[in-house]
Amino acid sequence: MTGPAHAQPVDNPFPSTYQPAAPEDTLFLDATILDGAGNRHERASLLIRDGRVAAIGSAIDAPGGVRVIDADGRWITPGIVDPHSHLGSGSMPYTPVELSAWDVNEIGDPAVPHLYVETTIRTQDPGFAAALSGGVTSLQVLPGSANLFGGYSVVLKNVPARTPQAMKFPKAPPGMKMACGENPKYNYSELGRSPKSRMGIVAGYQEMFDDAMEYRDKLARFRHGQGDEPSHDPKLAAVAAALDGEVRIHFHCYRADDMAIVLDVARHYGLQITAFHHASEAYKIPDLLVKNDVCSVVFANWWGFKMEVFDAIRENAAMLEAYGACVTLHSDSAITGQRLNLEAAKAMAAGQHAGLDITREVAIQWITFNPARILGLEDRIGSLEPGKNADVVLWSDDPFSTYARADLVYIDGALAYDRSDAAMQPVSDFILGQPARETRP
């Protein structure tokens, strides 16, 4: 969806400084491997070398100097990708400052597409290490849903770091948060200002897109020697870049009717929406979602915490999958984000119970390949295929079991977490030296 003239390249002012840790070339033997590409390999081996997947199959020889791990009885999956997290933006412990002025939303202006959520990230949030112990290797942190245009998201590698930049996934395509429905409505009604209704919200999108189109046209005319250069407007520039297809739109939306209206607005402006997040009524409109090539990022079982999620059902993900629509799961929570594998188990089981043929090799894609795809990173992460980043989880058991634990987690071929070695379990600065964490003698 490329416009006639690009308003501006998306030039992130906080570039990634991520450096992979030293990779540990490793051969895993005799595992059950769910490769994230839709396959299940029994009694299979996986070789990772130089930070990448080197081979997957049944008879792989161990090259010299490679660590060999007997994974008999254990399972291997790609590193889990959480496409919707708020870790780091409002870090634990949630003190009154976090609760009354959470960094995740810039409340007061419903259109703040130019904000960067990486400017809120506290790398010492203990939630990162907890997510890592659940196999999460990459995550997208998004601004909240108080605003129509909430700002840029950021994709992080789940590694201990001193700065947000050092966690940033290099060259990840930019993403932007938008929101519809109850949250913006509620927030601005509280403030006594527009938009207080769904009508006001939709008009708010249209107004912003109209202004961004005009801005883009002025800029294009100026570049062709016609008219004055428009003064730089960071908000309009951000939205114009989105209209040019340079920014992936992550749209917080629950209800089928809300999503259908948003799709019409998007079509009018030639905007491709990458994914509806939460999308609890996506199962009611799979046809529209497929037609518009929009993925749904959904919960396994959350429902009823507000009115627009009252019709959520546990079969949502499985029904979308069965229809042929793109679907991923997400956490939206530091608690759920530690066990997305069990979210996949719940969503898979609900589908199977309803008679839908959802296998583990498909369901694992809901938390690996599919989220990688909506982040535009499916060429690098999300599946275990030769040449891709060696983001790997070795599970003690079937990852769809409540009893499964991540034994080892690798990011870019480097060991990031080892359940049997406390020295290989990141500890946030906040936790360090807290007597309440220490075992009494």
| Residues found near another protein in the complex (CB under 8 A) | 92-96, 99-100, 126-127, 130, 182, 283-284, 286-287, 301-307, 310-315, 319, 322-323, 333-335, 338-339, 342, 345-346, 348-349, 352-354, 356, 400-405, 430-431, 434, 436-437, 440
In the structure encoding, which two tokens stand for residue 13, read together? Answer: 């002012």
In this complex, which beta carbon is closest to another protein, that of residue 211 or of residue 397?
Answer: 397
CB of 337 to another protein, least distance (A): 10
| Whole-number Å distance between alpha carbons of 202 and 258 | 9
In this complex, which beta carbon is closest to another protein, that of residue 210 or of residue 429?
Answer: 429
In this complex, which beta carbon is closest to another protein, that of residue 149 or of residue 283?
Answer: 283
| Whole-number Å distance between alpha carbons of 344 and 364 | 7
| Whole-number Å distance between alpha carbons of 37 and 383 | 5
CB of 162 to another protein, least distance (A): 20
Q: How many CA atoms does the CB half-sphere of 186 hold within 13 Å?
A: 10
**Coil/strand/helix, residue 427:** coil
CB of 405 to another protein, least distance (A): 6
Question: Do 20 and 411 form a contact (C-beta atoms < 8 A)?
Answer: yes
Task: Provide the residue type at 16 as one letter.
Answer: S
CB of 134 to another protein, least distance (A): 11
Closest by Cα among 85, 91, 201, 209 to 146: 201
**Coil/strand/helix, residue 363:** helix
Q: What is the dihedral of CA 107, 109, 114, 120, to 10 degrees?
A: -10
CB of 221 to another protein, least distance (A): 47
In the structure encoding, which two tokens stand for residue 361, read together? Answer: 């090799």
Closest by Cα among 117, 94, 83 to 274: 83
In this complex, which beta carbon is closest to another protein, that of residue 128 or of residue 209?
Answer: 128
In this complex, which beta carbon is closest to another protein, that of residue 1 or of residue 307?
Answer: 307
The residues, any chain, with a CB within 8 Å of residue 39's CB and separated by 6 or more, are: 33, 361
In this complex, which beta carbon is closest to another protein, that of residue 262 or of residue 344?
Answer: 344
CB of 184 to another protein, least distance (A): 14
In this complex, which beta carbon is closest to another protein, that of residue 107 or of residue 342?
Answer: 342
CB of 437 to another protein, least distance (A): 6
